[in-house]
Structure 1
Amino acid sequence: MYKFAVTLSLLTHLLATLCLPTQECPILGPVLPSEFDIAQTDAFLNATELFPRQLELLFSSGVLNRTSSSFSVDVFSSVTNTSIYSYNHDATDLHEALTTGELTDNTLFRIGSVSKLFTVYALIAAAGIEIFNDPVTKHLPELAGNIGRAAVESIIWEDVTVGALASHQAGVGGFILETAACTELGTCNVSDFLAQMRDNKRPTTSAFETPIYADSGFGILARVLERLTRLEYGQAIHNTLSVPLGLNTISTFKPEGDAVDGLIVPGSLAESSWGFDNQITAGSGGIYANGADLRTIGLSILHSQLLPPAATRRWMKPLGSVAALSESVGAPWEINRLALPVTSNSTRTRISDLYTKAGGQAGYGSIFALSPDHNIGFTINVAGATAGRDRWVLRDLVGETFVVAAEHAAAEYAAQNYVGTFVDDSIDGTNLTVTVDDDKPGLGLASMFWNSTEVRTALVSLQPLPIPAENVTVRLYPTGLQDGTRRVFRAVVEYYPIEPRAAIEGGQGLFNNGCAAWLSAAFYPDSDSLILDIVDGQLESVTSVLFNSTMRRVA
């Protein structure tokens, strides 16, 4: 195993030294349209063939234990609203723990801290995302009263907002031991819990100082949800999420009866959390779920099924930073900033944010992930003694296989359906050419003529600049604005030689001078706006707002 780890480390270092950001700087977000079935592309089909082989390497090297770790992997698409790849591994040592004798995406697991995602989702669905701005004392006045006490000893709850709790920035840390150990519903008293948090809980940081993972904050948020809905936490989750989404298995209590489909890891509480149903801590890590219901939750978020689209977009943004360039913190998203190769076999990468939530408790591990750039998500449920470690290994494999495949699938699809030459027959010499290019993000605008004059530089200056065409590069990026078949793209114009990125990205110096797309796009509101009309998946025409010209496909 050590030899394998060293080899993997060396490979990772080699890849890091070989891969650099794309020379052209894209706008953060999707760089290509993703409204297509990626399961039908060569890039994705190749990934489905690669995944089992890579998994076998992890088994044979001992990184994963074939006999003692069971897991269920599901990759889904919001375009087809289906699972597009699944893999279930039934470990021999845990086979008897399957109540139906079969591991499927209907099999119940404990999902640990993925429960935090349910808590926040239910809060936003019940009260709107504006609740993030509320002081928690607005909803739980019992917490008030510490103003004037020593700040090193007491949490000043009046400074703590719902959003601070949801993004681990309230400085509240973990649960008090006696609360975390409470196993019987009748002995888990909400009033006592809130009094302990007010009177006995020492802060880990000041509010909004920095994100530090805080389980107890979600115990507080569960109480906020209870006040809003006037229901106990489990029933509030049921009414707010399960009923409107048609979820079948979500619960904060272990299921009873002969028809249970679950993987019940045997052993003591130290070995298995099955049946440890503390309702005070349930909002932090107490939910039972299966892969099918997790997929439904993921699809509902990608479709903004329960929330206004603007609220979903606001929710899926970073709210804090940690001491790593590749990670940031949301509510309660663990946001991984991925450097994705932009085209197949490319050593040039662009940044894409993967929104994840990990969960783990005795005997179980879980990963929930959404990639808004690609309209896909994935879930991983693991059971066994090493589930806590195995979830990370599987997250890395699934993400590196299928998120990368989704990026390449988009380039493949765009090359087949968007590339071409477009002409405005009403104005002589008015045309443009759209490309997809190796090592470059987004669509390329290889040329654009209006009345026989090359006008790409006018997209950012309102009039053509006397710059040789070979010194100009223009990339087109989607904005998310759409109406029927029409999609608004922004043209980002850059000039060679492009300023270098910072040294940390393979350039030079501390500061980033070569990535200013977000500063220059839409500087003149409509000049760089191009409207792409996409019919049955194919780009049929491009309209320049600046020149009031619609150019239609001729090749």
Structure 2
Amino acid sequence: MLLSVFSFLLFIIALSSISLAEADQKLSGPSFELPTHVLSNKAIQEAVLSIRSSLNGAIRTGRSHFGRFNSSTTSFSLTAVSQLESTPIIDFHHTSNFLNVSAGSRSKVTSDTVYQISSVSKLFTVYSLFLNNGTNYWNRPVTDFIPELRQASHPPLHKSSVVDRVQWDQTTVGALASQLSGIGRDYSSGDLSSQDFPWTELGLPALPPQDIPSCGINDNQLPCSRKGKSYEELVKKEIFEPLGMKHSSPLPPIGRGIGIIPNGDAGWGREYGDEIATGGLLSSTNDLTKFGCAIFADKQLPSMETLRWMKPSSLTSSTSLFLGAPWEIVRTRSGIKTGHLIDLYTKSGSVGSYESLLILIPDYQVTLAVLAAGPDASAALRAVTETAIQTLLPSLKKAAKAESCSKLCGDYAPAGASRNSSLAITVDDGPSLLVKEWIHQGHDLIAAGQAYANATRGGKIQALRLYPTGLRTRRQAAYRVLFESIPCQYDPSVYLVFDPKAGVWGKLDQLMYGGIAVDGFVFHLNSGGDSAAVEPRVLREVYQRLEKSYVCSRVQLHKTI
């Protein structure tokens, strides 16, 4: 029965595999080459000026398009860096007028100023697990490593209840890392009974002393030391030092004048004990962007392990938020409200007067770190983040589009003018490079593709688009062609549960000719990384890039960017 249902779903997807010519009809991942000269791109430069202007206005007035915050009492830092360039795209900092200098606060915020990053610490915990063969333990229950929890999983019969106890023997290491294992979020550290507030006067019952947790809130609790290295030693020796993260460390901080401390009790000197691994690290925007760039560059983890890690582990009730280990994956669009889908791999944190957010954008290999401290830290972080991401994302697409077209767009033809073959690659308002014309030995191959679609009821071909596969060497870059089409009898006014756009991923390698995929293209690159030729592999022939097309591609680019 299960097989027949699965076969039916495959049949439905097959009927819909020729997808709509819309923004979502693309392959997941980068649409263009990664931009390698972001800082010199005009669109990026204009975006940075706009972000600075907006943030300065918010600091001056206390108002932003994304809410109000008191800039006189709240400090913040914003740093954005491309993995392919060492100089930040933007490095913007604001210092509050009210700092606890007597407690050791710095008097001026920079990219090296240290903040509490709270739950962003979880990223380093999971990362350190992967550095120590964590994939071998990922699907094993935590009771394999903490045997004491077995007894908690199987209490005496009269106390046994799935309502009252955690089923530790069914909770895996990976489930814990992915945030949705089913256990309570903050067992004792968030217990209301430990807070100085008159809860009983508001109607809650008085608690006997034995019901008030004493663990998790004891400032004198010693850090947990496992067999071998302590957690503090692990992150220091295996992450912070190798990656040059000189301003990152576990709480409590060592020394004065390194971090930002708002007025009042900000919890700066708190000892986190066993909770260091979940929320007790300190860092700066400079260090956090170094960490993001290291992930993109596969500096410590094999690329395949990074790819497996940067995937959703669970859905939420929102179509724009998925959960990873411990990623919070936000799905937006390249133009924010328009364009194709873009996934932001983020991790947020909040504790006391501190707010933190790390954002990785895999499609462009750009990392943003936003940190805030003060009474309005949450509002400030939201305003800074939204201002930056909503301005920067569309500009990154423009930069990637411009650089890709400069490197790859143009007219191509095989050696020998008598061959009557040509290929034209350009850009338009669509999500990727466009194959505008494709003639081989006098035959229009786009028209031939349409004839085949007509014969097989494949719909109307709207465009042929090229997408990078990520497979490349210094002299070759592999691409795939995606046929954007409108299915036969498609009626856009009729809502479909089985979205025709969803079958795009299954179209690759669908058509073969002599064992070679019809959609396979390989660009042959010169020493500067520009295309010298393109090889539509199914034709077993190489098309040379015509010299005049280098100039023509730039003219066409200015018309579309």
Which of the five TM-score ranges fits, normalised by the shorter chain?
A: 0.7 to 0.9
Counterpart of 1:309 (choices 303, 314, 321) is 303
Gaps of 5+ in 1: 1-19, 191-222
- In structure 2, the CA distance between the partners of 1:78 and 1:458, relative to structure 1 (3 Å rule), is farther
1:287, CA displacement in angstroms? 0.4
1:225-374 equivalence runs, <5 A: 226-227=226-227, 230-258=228-256, 260-268=257-265, 272-341=266-335, 348-374=338-364
1:334-359 deviation digits (Å, cap 9, x = unpaired)? 101011229xxxx7410010100011
Q: Percent identity at matched positions? A: 26
| Mapping for residues 10-29 of structure 1, pairs under 5 Å | 22-23=22-23, 25-29=25-29
> Contact between 1:265 and 1:274, CA under 8 Å: does it hold in 2?
no
1:499–1:151: structure 2 CA closer, same or farther, 3 Å change rule? farther
- Alignment of 1:155 onto 2:166: yes
* Secondary structure, counterpart of 2:322 in structure 1: strand
Is 1:474 matched up with 2:510? no
2:403 maps to what in 1?
A: 413
Q: Does 1:540 align with 2:532?
A: yes
What secondary structure does 1:137 align onto?
helix
How far residue 454 of structure 1 moved from its aligned partner, in angstroms, is: 1.7
Q: Is the 8 A contact 2:262 2:373 kept in 1?
A: yes
Q: CA RMSD in A?
A: 2.9
- Residue 148 of structure 2 is matched in structure 1 by 142
> Which range moves more in the overlay, 90-99 or 235-244?
90-99
Decide which moves more: 534-543 or 153-162.
534-543
Partner letter of residue 37 of structure 1? H
* Contact 2:450-2:461 at 8 Å conserved across structures: no
Question: Is 1:94 matched with 2:99?
Answer: yes
Alpha-carbon distance change, 21 to 316 in structure 1, aligned in 2, over 3 angstroms = farther
With normalisation by structure 2, the TM-score equals 0.80
| Partner AA of 1:77 in structure 2 | S
1:103 CA drift (Å): 1.2
Q: 3-state SS of the aligned residue for 1:356?
A: strand
Of residues 466-475 and 527-536 in structure 1, the stretch that sits farther from structure 2 once superposed is 466-475
Report what 1:205 is aligned to. none
Is this contact kept in 2: 1:247–1:296, CA < 8 A?
Answer: yes
Q: Which residue of 1 aligns with 2:432?
A: 442
Cα distance change on mapping 1:498 and 1:31 into 2, 3 Å: farther
* Structure 2 contact 313–325 (Cα < 8 Å) conserved: yes
Measure, in 2, the Cα distance between the counterparts of 1:452 and 1:464. Answer: 21
2:391 pairs with 1:401? yes
- C-alpha change, 1:501 and 1:277, in structure 2 (3 Å) is farther
| C-alpha displacement of 1:279 | 1.8
One-letter amino acid of the structure 1 residue matched with residue 218 of structure 2: C
Paired with 1:317 and 1:147, the residues of 2 have a C-alpha distance of 33
In 1: Cα distance, 2:450 partner to 2:268 partner: 60
Matches within 5 A, 1:422-437: 422-425=412-415, 428-437=419-428
Of 62, 68, 74, which aligns to 2:73? 68
CA contact (8 A) 2:423 2:438 kept: yes
Matches of 1:314 and 1:498, distance apart in 2: 37
Q: Cα offset for 1:458? A: 6.7
Q: Secondary structure at the match of 2:378?
A: helix
> What amino acid does structure 1 have at the position aligned with 2:179?
H
Q: Deviations over 1:281-315 (max 9, x none)?
A: 11111001112211211111011111000000111
Counterparts of 1:168-179 in structure 2, within 5 Å, are 168-177=179-188, 178=213, 179=215
Deviation per CA, 1:173-211: give whole Å up to 9, x if none. Answer: 22332333121134x7x5xxxxxxxxxxxxxxxxxxxxx
1:21, 1:495 → 2: CA distance? 6
Q: CA deviation at 1:422?
A: 0.7
Structure 1 residues 130, 104: closer, same or farther in 2, change over 3 A? same
Q: Compared with structure 1, are the counterparts of its residues 461 and 366 closer, same or farther at alpha carbon in structure 2 (3 Å cutoff)?
A: farther
Distance 1:501 1:365, change over 3 A: farther
Query: Is this contact kept in 2: 1:499–1:513, CA < 8 A?
Result: no
**What is the identity, as a one-letter code, of the residue corresponding to 1:281?**
E
Distance of 1:530 and 1:357 partners within structure 2: 37
| Cα distance change, pair 328–24 in 1 and its aligned pair in 2 (3 A) | closer
Distance change in 2, residues 1:516/1:499 (3 Å) = farther
88-97 or 274-283: which moved more?
Answer: 88-97
Does the 8 A contact of 1:129 with 1:315 survive in 2? no
Q: Is the 8 A contact 2:463 2:483 kept in 1?
A: yes
The equivalent residue for 2:485 is: 495
**Structure 1, 411-420 or 275-284: larger mean CA deviation:** 411-420
Measured in 2, the distance between the counterparts of 1:526 and 1:232 equals 52
What TM-score comes out, normalization by structure 1 length? Answer: 0.81
Higher relative contact order, chain-length normalized (CA < 8 Å, sep 6+): 2
Q: Separation in 2 of the partners of 1:382 and 1:502?
A: 46
**Counterparts of 2:277 and 2:116, CA distance in 1:** 13
Q: Which amino acid aligns with 1:305?
A: K
- State the match for 2:503 in structure 1: 516
C-alpha change, 1:24 and 1:400, in structure 2 (3 Å) is closer
CA contact (8 A) 1:137 1:143 kept: yes
Name the SS for the 1:92 alignment partner. coil
Match of 1:194? Answer: none
User: Does the CA-based 8 Å contact 1:318-1:330 persist in structure 2?
Assistant: yes
Other structure's SS at 2:509 match: coil
1:109 equivalent among 103, 111, 115: 115
**CA deviations over 1:219-246 (Å, ceiling 9, x no partner):** xxxx8xx45xx22211111122123222
Length, aligned pairs only = 486
Query: 1:126 aligns to what?
Result: 132
Name the aligned partner's letter for residue 88 of structure 1. Answer: H
How far the C-alpha of 1:388 sits from its partner, in A, is: 2.5
CA distance in 2, matches of 1:394, 1:287: 22
Cα pair distance change 1:457/1:29, threshold 3 Å: farther
Q: CA 1:302 to 1:322, structure 2 compared with 1: closer, same or farther past 3 Å? A: same
Moved more, 455-464 or 413-422: 455-464
**Aligned residue in 1 for 2:556:** none
Deviation at 1:134, TM superposition (A): 2.4
Distance 1:90 1:26, change over 3 A: same
SS at match of 1:381: strand
**1:7 alignment partner in structure 2:** none
Q: Distance in 1 between matches of 2:353 and 2:491?
A: 44
Moved more, 96-105 or 349-358: 96-105
